[in-house]
């Protein structure tokens, strides 16, 4: 099924109330709930949603993104995939500081990451635990609701050093904001300014993205066999299904097909594209409209390719027309807009323009196939203008309906 990307963001302000950055927060539902059982999984979800689903720039508008980093993720080299120019790594308050972790933090600092300690308080155990990191971090976050204001100025004084910034979070009132400013805090976060904003976005299921990306690669005549094989390697299920299909349908072969390169050589790119488009629909059986959408897509694909043949377009264009018809309904199938699909999958411009704008020759064929599928009488003057007879129109329509019926069961 298609997946909802959910994330929350809460701005962090300078003293003058201009935005310094945003804390990006894990949310398990639209109800502003953060049911976190595994901080590594929660942060990983936040990062995937940030970098893949929403896009960093759309979430932060060029400001810093604050993310929580637990013990395991902090020690994992995978953390370094995060662009250091745009993120602040908030080391969670329950992290246990030891020699290995100190070396790791030193390394991250050398790489140029901005580091913060989250939810710092003046408990003696916490002070002792984090003491080795206090000279390395750039920001210390204090939960004002937890530590209160009493004797806070005296408590903060030993921590003060050049370039170390203090961030007051859970600032609830104007009075608290003013008090924190007078105590020397540099950054501010809390309900006084704004609650976390919940954002939700549909993203394409990775298994479907692989199929669409493969179709895009196969359509590109310059793609290599190696490139196609590498893309197939991302989906074991897809590879197994293709090999099963070929080994069951090509029964006259002396040897079984056991590699993607063999499958491509046998099928050819055009036939492989056709199989992949059918696989998209077959692999989405939970959608109650799948059969109708498949029939509609098959009709349009066949209609467009046959009309392209009648108009004396080259075989390459006929194949492209078929592909355009086949993918013309995947937005409805996946419940995600083509704008979002085309951000993830790089189809050729004329296919994108045809689907999004119904422009150029391919777009006109798609528009005509829509009319034909609906049985709209507007199609007759269009065919007359194209110089195609009503008899040929009837032939193409009947052929397309037969094709859709034969291939949708």
The pLDDT value recorded for residue 1 is 41
The pLDDT value recorded for residue 268 is 79
Pairing, β 19-26 against β 3-13: antiparallel
pTM here is 0.58
In this structure, are 275 and 376 located in the same domain? yes
Taken in order 72, 74, 80, 81, the sign of the CA dihedral is positive
In this structure, are 70 and 93 located in the same domain? yes
What is Dmax (Cα atoms) for the chain?
Answer: 92
The pLDDT value recorded for residue 288 is 53
Pairing, β 139-143 against β 114-120: parallel
In this structure, are 247 and 164 located in the same domain? no
Taken in order 39, 45, 48, 49, the sign of the CA dihedral is negative
196 is in which domain, residue-wise?
3-203
Per-residue pLDDT of the chain in tens (409 residues, 90 and over written 9): 444 678 889 999 999 989 999 998 887 655 545 444 567 778 888 887 787 677 788 888 889 999 999 888 899 887 888 889 999 999 999 999 999 999 999 999 999 999 999 999 888 899 999 999 998 999 999 988 888 777 788 888 888 877 889 999 999 988 999 999 988 899 999 888 888 888 877 666 666 777 888 888 887 777 788 888 777 766 666 776 776 676 655 444 555 555 677 777 777 788 888 888 887 776 665 555 677 888 888 899 999 999 999 999 998 899 889 889 988 888 887 777 888 788 777 788 888 999 999 888 999 999 999 999 988 889 999 999 999 999 999 999 999 999 888 877 6
Residue 191 CB contacts under 8 Å (≥ 6 apart), including other chains:
170, 171, 172
The pLDDT value recorded for residue 261 is 75
Q: Please state, in angstroms and rounded to a whole number, the distance separating the CA atoms of residues 397 and 51.
A: 45
**Domain count of the chain?**
2
In this structure, are 212 and 188 located in the same domain? no
Percent helix, strand, coil in the chain, to 5, is 55, 15, 30
Q: Please state, in angstroms and rounded to a whole number, the distance separating the CA atoms of residues 185 and 331.
A: 49
2: tokens are 């298609």
| Own/partner long-range contacts of 223-229 (Cβ < 8 Å, ≥24 apart) | 225/260, 225/261, 225/264, 228/260, 228/264, 229/260, 229/261
Tell me which of 146, 180, 203 is where a domain ends: 203
In this structure, are 192 and 214 located in the same domain? no
279: tokens are 């696989």
Q: Please state, in angstroms and rounded to a whole number, the distance separating the CA atoms of residues 55 and 66.
A: 15
The pLDDT value recorded for residue 23 is 92
The pLDDT value recorded for residue 204 is 61
Q: Please state, in angstroms and rounded to a whole number, the distance separating the CA atoms of residues 175 and 179.
A: 6
In this structure, are 373 and 358 located in the same domain? yes
In this structure, are 34 and 170 located in the same domain? yes
In this structure, are 211 and 343 located in the same domain? yes
In this structure, are 53 and 86 located in the same domain? yes
The pLDDT value recorded for residue 2 is 46
Within 220-359, residue ranges assigned H as helices are 225-232, 236-249, 260-267, 269-282, 290-310, 315-327, 330-334, 338-344, 349-357
The pLDDT value recorded for residue 251 is 41
391: tokens are 């008899």
The pLDDT value recorded for residue 221 is 75
> Measured at the alpha carbon of residue 215, what is the angle toward residues 401 and 297, in degrees to the nearest 5?
20
In this structure, are 308 and 329 located in the same domain? yes
Tell me which of 183, 203, 223 is where a domain ends: 203
Q: What is the DSSP letter of 166?
A: E
Q: Is 280 exposed, middle or buried (0-12, 13-18, 19+ CB in 10 A)?
A: buried
Question: What is the residue-wise DSSP string for 167-196?
Answer: EEE---SHHHHHHHHHTT--EE-STTT-PP
Element (H, E) at 11: strand 3-13
Distance of CA 222 to the CA centre of its chain: 26
Tell which residue, 223, 218, 216, has the closest CA to residue 352. 216
Question: What is the residue-wise DSSP string for 99-128?
Answer: HHHHHHHHHHHHHT-EEEEEEE---HHHHH
Tell me which of 150, 174, 203 is where a domain ends: 203
In this structure, are 156 and 223 located in the same domain? no
Residue 290 CB contacts under 8 Å (≥ 6 apart), including other chains:
281, 284, 333
Q: Please state, in angstroms and rounded to a whole number, the distance separating the CA atoms of residues 120 and 140.
A: 7
Q: Please state, in angstroms and rounded to a whole number, the distance separating the CA atoms of residues 170 and 191.
A: 7
Q: Please state, in angstroms and rounded to a whole number, the distance separating the CA atoms of residues 359 and 175.
A: 59
- CA distances, 128 to each of 65, 68, 96, 121, 167 (Å): 28, 21, 11, 11, 20
Q: Return the CATH number at 340.
A: 1.10.3210.10
Q: Return the CATH number at 137.
A: 3.20.20.450
In this structure, are 197 and 230 located in the same domain? no
């Amino acid at each position: 099924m298609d997946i909802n990307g959910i994330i929350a963001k809460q701005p962090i302000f300078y003293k003058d109330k201009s935005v310094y950055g945003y804390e990006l927060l894990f949310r398990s539902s639209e109800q502003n709930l953060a049911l976190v059982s595994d901080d590594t999984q929660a942060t990983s979800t936040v990062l995937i949603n940030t970098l893949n689903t929403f896009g960093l720039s759309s979430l932060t508008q060029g400001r810093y993104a604050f993310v929580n980093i637990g013990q395991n993720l902090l020690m994992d080299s995978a953390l370094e995939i995060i662009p250091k120019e745009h993120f602040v790594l908030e080391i969670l308050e329950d992290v246990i500081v030891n020699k290995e972790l100190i070396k790791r933090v030193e390394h991250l600092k050398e790489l140029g990451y901005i580091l913060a300690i989250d939810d710092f308080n003046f408990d003696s155990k916490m002070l002792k635990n984090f003491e080795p990191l206090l000279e390395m971090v750039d920001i210390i976050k204090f939960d004002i609701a937890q530590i209160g204001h009493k004797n806070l100025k005296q408590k903060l004084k030993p921590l003060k050093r050049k370039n170390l910034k203090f961030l007051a979070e859970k600032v609830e009132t104007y009075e608290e904001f003013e008090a924190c400013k007078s105590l020397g805090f540099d950054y501010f976060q809390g309900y006084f300014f704004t609650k976390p904003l919940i954002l939700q976005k549909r993203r394409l299921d990775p298994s479907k993205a692989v199929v669409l990306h493969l179709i895009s690669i196969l359509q590109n005549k310059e793609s290599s066999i190696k490139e196609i094989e590498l893309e197939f390697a991302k989906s074991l299920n897809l590879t197994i299904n293709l090999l099963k299909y070929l080994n069951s349908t090509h029964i006259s072969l002396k040897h079984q097909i056991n590699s993607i390169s063999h499958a491509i050589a046998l099928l050819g790119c055009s036939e492989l594209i056709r199989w992949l488009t059918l696989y998209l629909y077959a692999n989405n059986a939970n959608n109650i409209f799948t059969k109708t959408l498949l029939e509609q897509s098959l009709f349009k694909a066949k209609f467009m390719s046959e009309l392209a043949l009648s108009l004396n377009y080259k075989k390459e264009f006929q194949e492209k027309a078929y592909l355009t018809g086949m993918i013309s309904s995947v937005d409805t199938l996946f419940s995600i807009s083509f704008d979002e699909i085309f951000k993830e999958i790089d189809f050729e411009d004329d296919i994108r323009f045809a689907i999004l704008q119904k422009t150029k020759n391919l777009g006109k064929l798609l528009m005509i196939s829509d009319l034909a599928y609906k049985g709209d009488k507007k199609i007759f003057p269009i065919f007359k203008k194209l110089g195609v007879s009503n008899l040929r129109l009837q032939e193409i329509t009947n052929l397309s309906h037969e094709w859709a019926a034969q291939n949708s069961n």
